[in-house]
Amino acid sequence: MGRTRQINGPVCPCVSGQRGFFVGDGGRMNADELFDRYQELQRYVGWTDEDALRVRSVATIVERHFAGLIEDFYAEIEQHAATRKIITGGEQQVARLKGTLITWLRELFSGQYDRDYVTRRWKVGLRHVEIGLDQVYTNTALSRLRSGLLLALEQEEMDLAQLAVRRSLNKLIDLDLAIIEDAYQAEMQQRQQRIERLATIGQVAGGIAHELRNPLNVVKTSVYYLRQASQPSPEKVSTHLERIDRQVTMADGVIAALNNFARLPVPEMQPLDLASCIREVLELQPLPDQIKLSMEFTPNLPAVMGDRGQLAIVLSNLLRNARDAMPNGGSLQIRGRQNGGQVEIDVADSGVGIPRDHLARVMEPLFSTKARGIGLGLAITRAIIEKHNGHLKVTSDEGCGSTFTVTLTAARKDPDTSES
């Protein structure tokens, strides 16, 4: 047996100190769902119990090479600025990381790939995002370790079974790489969402200033009159007090709407019948007599997964928009159909339509084409639908009407209630 040969190329530490294991503040990692995903990937690459046994059978053999692999691993880190910068704790940190890497390698050959194993692997990927390490270095690190481990097997006198062991080890490392990449994608997505939220805050801040400045100016002028007027008549006083009351109510409405938009809760998902939900909203929010309503749903339209209260807000907003688009009456069509594993609902009006240059912005917070609108209805509607893993689309022909299409996930049928 010879010493494990060095493999040249850039590397990064593929494990973190155990104290660094935590989930990012953008959300919680569900260990059960993660393990289900891992098992699905195992099936995809054809991983079996025999693979686990083969990898475990060479654990003692390859462990003799761990020390050389680890020394090579961290010596190479020092050769590259992009990887060297994450070593901020000097020799003590390196010593700790070497011990963690030994544990990582031993777990790789343990033959036990349960939920806890997968969770620890996922946290490794998450930690690399948190310390700002580019994913390409993580991938290269696993490639370097893979090469070293396969070379260690070559240097041992083994029978023809070595080929099968190599295949099993390659599958296992590919699975580890998939977990780490999944953690990278999850954290990067959360970071992108935070960036988008900050951009929205800036946009909303400008809208708030615009929406609140008008009523505040009216209040200010009325207060100025009441202070400066010499013996104003009771009617004048009453008029200005009513103006102040109206404008304060308007400002309060803006703040309440913004508060609802900012605190939109996570939906409580359960199967529900959209047709019945639409009828309930129409009972609470009846249409004027001059608007003709027609509803058409395909036979056996499945239920959708959703939060009944939140989807009622969606439907209420869409129906209100359709009504407001037809001040002189018209026709409103509500259509429902199944499209694969999804349900699509159209809310189509024959109203004034949306100008082409406004179409791309109608769902932005605080953008409104209505004289008295504050521009949060469609923003809230889209936010709710996206929290349901659905999407909202709008098409419009100015002067002829608009169609809003809501797409939601169809609920799975309970096998106990299906026909035998």
Is 405 part of a structural domain of the chain?
Answer: yes
Residues 235 and 294 placed together within one structural domain of the fold: no
Residue 270 is predicted with a pLDDT of 93
Q: Which residue has the tokens 């047709």?
A: 275
Secondary element (H or E) of residue 401: strand 401-409
Residues 6+ apart with CB under 8 A from 115: 31, 32, 34, 35
Is 117 part of a structural domain of the chain?
Answer: yes
Burial of 374 (0-12, 13-18, 19+ CB in 10 A): buried
Q: Is the dihedral of CA 112, 140, 46, 39 positive or negative?
A: positive
Residues 353 and 283 placed together within one structural domain of the fold: yes
Give the N- to C-terminal CA distance of the chain in Å, as an integer: 64
Residue 294 is predicted with a pLDDT of 94
Is 414 part of a structural domain of the chain?
Answer: no
Residues 32 and 138 placed together within one structural domain of the fold: yes
- Of 204, 214, 224, the closest CA to residue 248 belongs to 214
Q: Of 262, 288, 313, which closes a domain?
A: 262
Phi and psi at residue 382, in whole multiples of 5°?
-65, -40
Is 9 part of a structural domain of the chain?
Answer: no
Is 184 part of a structural domain of the chain?
Answer: yes
Residue 63 is predicted with a pLDDT of 92
Strand partners, 336: 297, 345
- Of 58, 42, 30, 52, the closest CA to residue 175 belongs to 42
Q: Give the span between the Cα atoms of 403 and 407, in whole angstroms.
A: 13
Residues of the chain under the 50 pLDDT cut = 1-27, 371, 415-420
Residues 31 and 178 placed together within one structural domain of the fold: yes
Burial of 412 (0-12, 13-18, 19+ CB in 10 A): exposed
Burial of 4 (0-12, 13-18, 19+ CB in 10 A): buried
- Structural domain count, the chain: 3
Residue 260 is predicted with a pLDDT of 65
Residues 336 and 276 placed together within one structural domain of the fold: yes
- Of 144, 148, 162, the closest CA to residue 64 belongs to 148
Residues 6+ apart with CB under 8 A from 296: 333, 334, 335, 336
Residue 66 is predicted with a pLDDT of 92
DSSP code string of 138-183: HHHHHHHHHHHHHHHHHHS---THHHHHHHHHHHHHHHHHHHHHHH
Domain span holding position 218 = 198-262
Q: Is the dihedral of CA 48, 54, 60, 63 positive or negative?
A: negative
Is 417 part of a structural domain of the chain?
Answer: no
Residue 18 is predicted with a pLDDT of 33
- Of 66, 41, 58, 13, the closest CA to residue 169 belongs to 58
> Structure tokens of 80?
């590259």
Residue 301 is predicted with a pLDDT of 92
Residue 152 is predicted with a pLDDT of 85
- Of 241, 244, 240, the closest CA to residue 252 belongs to 244
Q: Which residue has the tokens 């961290």?
A: 74
What percent helix, strand, coil does the chain show, rounded to 5? Answer: 60, 10, 30
pTM of the full structure: 0.46
* Residue 404 · residue 391 · CB < 8 Å: no
- Of 57, 270, 251, the closest CA to residue 156 belongs to 57
CATH code (residue 55): 1.10.490.10
Burial of 17 (0-12, 13-18, 19+ CB in 10 A): middle
Q: Give the span between the Cα atoms of 144 and 94, in whole angstroms.
A: 18
Residues 189 and 212 placed together within one structural domain of the fold: no
Residues 327 and 405 placed together within one structural domain of the fold: yes
Residues 40 and 169 placed together within one structural domain of the fold: yes
Residue 375 is predicted with a pLDDT of 61
Residues 290 and 349 placed together within one structural domain of the fold: yes
DSSP code string of 39-65: HHHHHHHT--HHHHHHHHHTHHHHHTT
Q: Give the span between the Cα atoms of 260 and 365, in whole angstroms.
A: 12
Q: Of 214, 242, 262, which closes a domain?
A: 262
CATH code (residue 215): 1.10.287.130
Residues 246 and 378 placed together within one structural domain of the fold: no
Q: Give the span between the Cα atoms of 257 and 248, in whole angstroms.
A: 14
Residues 398 and 282 placed together within one structural domain of the fold: yes
CATH code (residue 290): 3.30.565.10
Q: Of 140, 169, 195, which closes a domain?
A: 195
Residues 6+ apart with CB under 8 A from 59: 106, 109, 110, 111
Is 90 part of a structural domain of the chain?
Answer: yes
Residues 314 and 255 placed together within one structural domain of the fold: no
Is 415 part of a structural domain of the chain?
Answer: no
